[in-house]
Amino acid sequence: MNPRARRFLRWTFIATFFVLAPAVILSTAGYRYNFARGRVERTGVVVLDTRPTGASISLNGKLQKTETPTQLGKVTPGTYVVRVEKANYHPWSKTVSVGSRESVFLNQISLYRTDGPIPVITLGSPAEAAFSRDVRYGAAVSSASSGSELSVIDTRNGSAYLPYRSSEDADVFRLHWSQNGRLLLIERTGKNPAFLLWSAYDPERVRDLSEETGFAFTEAFWAQDADRLYGVARNILYQIDTELFSAVAMGASVTAPTIVNDTLYGIVTDETPSLVRRRLRDTAFETVAQLPNAQFAPVATDGRRVTYAASNGDHLFTIDPSGEHRTAFEGRGREGVWSADNTRLFYWNELELRIHDARTGTDELVDRLSGAITQAAWQRPEWNALYAASGTLYAIETTDRFGRLTVPLATFETIDRFAVAPNGDTAFIFGTRDDISGLWKLRLR
C-alpha cells in the first residue's frame, strides 16, 4: 500500500474514532438522538408490572422483547401508546409521556379475565341479598310460590341452605352479617315485624330473637367492630347473647342506633337533629354533630369510624371519634366503603364515584356516569375498584395516572348485589343474566 493510501486510512480511522467514541459513550450513558425534536437527549425508563404477570408489551405498536414485570430502558423522550396484553385477558392501554432522565412507573396494572360469569346456583330473583364480610357466604331472600324464602350459599362449593320460609313478601326483609360472617341477622318488617338469627354452626334453621329472649325488640343490630348483637325494646338497649339467647340491659337507647368501640351512637330530635353518643358504661349522652335533618340511618363501615347516610341518598356523614379532636367529613353519597388501611373512603351517589382521603382531607371525583350506580367495592390490592351501574359490572382504576381506565367485566339484566373475595381474584354476583336468576361467579384474574 502506498504512503498516500496509508495516510488516508490512518486519518479515516482517527476521524471515525473521534466521531464514534463520543456516540458510544453517550449511548452507554443513556443518550439518544431524538429525530422528532432534532437533538440529542438523555433517555427515560418505563417500569411495568402487572397482576397477573407475564403480559406482553408494545410501545407505539412495536412489540418489546420482554414481558412483565420488566424495565424498559433507554426510551427516547416522547409520547407513547403503551399496550399490555395477555391471552384470555382484557388488554390495557394508555398514552404515556416519557421525559428526559425520567422514570415512569406503570407498576399497578390489573388485567381482567375475559371469561364470562358462571352460575353457582339458580334462585328466584332476590329482593334482598347480602354477603358475609369474608365473602364465605351469600344470602338472599327471594319470592316463592306462597311468599318468600331465605337461601344461604357457601361460595366455596356452592352448597345451599334453605332455613326459612315466610308467607310475607320478599321485599320486607333486610339482611345483616356479623363481623366474622358466621351469623346472619334477618330483619322482617311489614305486618309481622321480627328479628331472626341464622348461624353457620346450625345452618338448617333460624331462631326468633323475641321468642328466645322474651323481649319484644323493635330494633336489632351488630356492633360495627365486634361480634356483639344488640336489641332495643321500650327504648332500652340490650346486649344479646347469641348462644344462650339471654339479654342484658345496657341503658337508654336512641333513634338509628349503632355501636363502635363500646360507644352507642344515635340521633335525637329535641329541637335540632343531632348525632349523639354515650359510652355503654355511662348514662349521659353528649352531642357529636348537628345534622341537616333526622332522616339518617347508620351505614356499616370499617369499625372505627361512624357513618350515617340520608334516606334520600344525597348526603353521607362520617366522623372519626378517636383522638383528642373528632374529625368529620360530609359528602354527597348514599353509601361508602373504607380501604383496608382505613384511610380512604370510596363512596358513591346515583351518578358519581368519589374517594375521600382522611389523611389529607382531599375529596376526588373518580368518575361521573350517565347510568345509576347501585353499588361499589374496593378490589385488593386496591389499585382498582368495582362498581355496578345499569346492569353492568365494571372495574375502574382508583389512581389517576395518565387517566383512569375502566373495563366492563360482565353485563346482567339486573345486578342485585355483588362482593369481591378478600384476595381480589373473584367476584360473586346475585343477579339475573340470560333470564337466569341466582348467584354467579366471575373470575377477575
Phi, psi of 32, deg, nearest 5: -140, 155
| pTM of the predicted protein model | 0.88
* Protein fold of 43-110: Immunoglobulin-like (2.60.40)
Report how far residue 199's alpha carbon sits from residue 179's, in angstroms, rounded to the nearest whole number. Answer: 13
Q: Is the dihedral of CA 201, 203, 204, 205 positive or negative?
A: positive
- CA within 13 Å, CB half, 48: 27
pLDDT tens sequence for the chain (445 residues): 566 655 555 555 555 544 444 444 344 445 554 545 554 478 899 999 999 999 999 999 999 999 999 999 999 999 999 999 999 999 999 999 999 899 999 999 999 999 999 999 999 888 999 999 999 999 999 998 889 999 999 999 999 999 999 999 999 999 999 999 999 999 999 888 999 999 999 999 999 999 999 999 999 999 988 899 999 999 999 999 999 999 999 999 999 999 998 999 999 987 788 889 999 999 999 988 888 877 888 987 766 788 888 887 778 888 877 655 566 788 888 889 889 888 899 999 999 999 999 888 899 999 999 889 999 999 998 999 999 999 999 999 998 889 999 999 999 999 999 999 999 999 999 999 999 999 999 999 9
- Least Cα distance to 83 among 108, 103, 55 occurs for 55
Length of the chain: 445
pLDDT of residue 13: 53
Domain coordinates in residue numbering, the chain: 43-110
Report how far residue 412's alpha carbon sits from residue 401's, in angstroms, rounded to the nearest whole number. Answer: 30
For residue 47, give the amino acid letter.
V
pLDDT of residue 29: 43
- Least Cα distance to 147 among 131, 164, 161, 160 occurs for 164
Residue matched to cell numbers 348483637: 229
The b-or-e profile of 122-134 (16+ CB within 10 A means b, else e) is ebbbbbbbbbbee
